[in-house]
Amino acid sequence: MSYLLHIDSSAAGTASVSRQVAQSFLNVWDGAVVHRDLAAMPVPHLTAAGIAARDTDAAARRDDEATAAFVQDTLIDEFLGAGAYLFTVPMYNLTMPSVFKAWLDQIMVFGRTMTMEGPSPAAGRPAAVISARGGGYSPGSPRHGLDYVIPTVEALLGREEMLGLDVTSVVPELTMAPHTPALAELLPKHEASMADAHELARRLAGSFTDRRTVA
């Protein structure tokens, strides 16, 4: 039986709203989970040695290339072994946490997780992206159009020529409203957004359990 690959990238620990909503997903998920906490144990950023290792025979790799290849192989095998995915990717300064981008750069490799032609090896597998943010970025809000997390992550994870996952995003907004007097009037909108996020996370977990694939 394949597992759920749960990738956390929030640096806020148990205070993280993204992690809290993810817990609602996990409370419903019925199956094995492999958890990687990138905030607690960041993966290395991609280096010249890591790039060179992709096109160098194992026997001919330098020591630094062999080390980099081991990291990539471990992360790629873990990614491809999953039948479903849960990612917490909060908004930091309008974009994704750097630790999540580092993980993506390590696993997105042509000939391994992506192909030049046809579907990727993980194409169609379900993925939930939970991305909390302190303000509001939905249509009609003053910051609409400044969300560089969800569009980018959905493209990298979901586009056919990328990883090809079937991505659903869960976006709890206005998480600063309970803590910022100037946002107090937005507290009802925050509470509604949180309730919707937790409910969607639970529903996704149930549907993913039914759809998971054996890798």
Please report which residue ranges of the chain form alpha helices under DSSP H.
17-28, 48-53, 63-80, 98-107, 150-158, 187-211
Domain count, the chain: 1
Query: Residues in the chain, how many?
Result: 215
Q: Is residue 143 within a helix (H) or strand (E), and if so which, with residue range?
A: none
Q: What b/e sequence results for 104-116 when a residue is b if at least 16 CB atoms lie within 10 Å of its CB, and e otherwise?
A: bbbbbbeebbbee
Enter the pTM of the model.
0.93
pLDDT in tens, the chain (215 residues): 489 999 999 999 999 999 999 999 999 999 999 999 999 999 999 999 999 999 999 999 999 999 999 999 999 999 999 999 999 999 999 999 999 999 999 999 999 999 988 899 999 999 999 999 988 888 888 888 899 999 999 999 999 999 999 999 999 998 888 988 888 888 889 899 999 999 999 999 999 987 755 44
Residue 106's domain comprises: 3-211
CATH number at residue 39: 3.40.50.360
Given a contact cutoff of 8 angstroms between Cβ atoms, the answer to whether 122 and 79 are in contact is yes
CA 117, CA 195: separation in Å to the nearest integer?
41
DSSP type of residue 124: T
